Structure 1
Amino acid sequence: MNLAQIGGEIHSKRIQAGLLQEHVAKFAGLSRVTINQLENGTLKDLGYTKLKAVMDILGLDMETVQPSGLKSALTVAARSISTSYRDVMTPDMLSMVLRSGQAPDQFQPHLMALLDETPLPVVVKAVAEAATPDVPAKKIMKHLSQWAKQWKVCRTVW
């Protein structure tokens, strides 16, 4: 598989995940222009480390298939963000909150942990799992971005 074919797979997966090129660029530490060129097949070369960073964000491996390691990102994320708190956020609750964009006060610290500490590939996959035809992943990403600004989280990618 060549770089142009990989770029096409990256484009498809990015759209499916509801991410903008700008999001993927920030998450991977690249420019939006580089992501655009990668997706359009006009990028001549991209080092392994940079390409891997983009693919990891989208849950792709070098064969551009879903890696088998992460079965339910919502479960992993819910468990991870509930570790330090008495109130436990279940995967179903996390999914509902992500879709609604309404963060109950008692779960604001959990969601801040999601935005600041949860590995980005887990967040991206959890968003994709929570998405529905009525609430696409792109809308959920907007909710995350709004919360990040409102709560002034430390991770600057939002």
Structure 2
Amino acid sequence: MCSILHIIGGVMNIAEIGQKVAQQRVALGISQERLAKLSDLSRSTIHHLEHGTLHEIGAAKLFKLLSLLDIQLKTESEVTKPHALEMASRSASVSYKTTISPQELEESLITGKIEPRTISHLATLIDELPLSLIVLVVKEISQRHKIPPKKIWSHIYSWANQFKSPRLAWQ
């Protein structure tokens, strides 16, 4: 009765994991309280995990729980997300009258050069865009232009320093 939880593109959604835990627990005829005792977790943790309201659980605890329930994680690389650059340019432009086109963003990330009218867009990208989206943008540009990702990251780190970004990821 092994259950497999597919993680696509490295994105692990705790709410989905909680649903799978609940399904497997019920299928095995185990109460939340019993599962808590078996896994050395609190019943409250089990409850919040199953209801998608648990914000964090350590990897060791999670893997122990999944192993106990015979749930296997299977990771698969997402085939492609070719629109990361487009999503990033739109997201970086949301609060501004002018936009930064995907081509302008790509050019800036490749060369490290910033057009004065795009400074605020790039600062928004660095400070506010989800890091997972930034990673996908770097991957997309790197693959398309056969550029080492390290070069693109160096431009991002340089801009973060130049803009005095408060985001901990860049410090």
Superposition TM-score, scaled by structure 1 size:
0.58
Deviations 1:43-83 (A, max 9, x none): xx94377xxxxxxxxxxxx5332347954111111000011
Residue in 2 that maps onto 1:42: none
**Helix, strand or coil for the counterpart of 1:64?**
strand
Map of 1:149 onto structure 2: 161
Q: Flag the 1:63–1:71 CA change in 2: closer, same or farther, 3 A.
A: farther
1:47 aligns with 2:60: yes
Q: Which has the larger strand fraction? A: 2
The alignment-based identity, stated in percent, is 33
Q: What SS is found at the alignment partner of 2:77?
A: coil
1:77 to 72, 88, 93: 88
How large is the RMSD of aligned CA atoms in angstroms? 2.6
Listed as ranges, the matches of 1:63-142 within 5 Å are: 63-67=74-78, 70-131=81-142, 132-133=145-146, 135-142=147-154
* Larger displacement relative to structure 2 (122-131 or 63-72): 63-72
SS of the counterpart of 2:76?
Answer: coil
User: What amino acid sits opposite 1:127 in the alignment?
Assistant: V
Aligned length: 103
For 2:139 and 2:59, locate their aligned partners in 1 and report how far apart those are by CA, in whole Å: 26
The match for 2:40 is none
The verdict on how the C-alpha distance between 1:142 and 1:81 changes in structure 2, with shifts beyond 3 A counting, is same
Relative contact order, higher structure (CA 8 A, sep 6+):
1
Runs of at least 5 residues in structure 2 that lack an aligned partner in the other structure: 1-9, 11-57, 63-72
- Give the Cα–Cα distance (whole angstroms) in 1 for the partners of residues 93 and 109 of structure 2: 15
Partner of 2:54: none
TM-score of the superposed pair, with normalisation by structure 2 = 0.54
Alpha-carbon distance, 1:154 to partner: 1.4
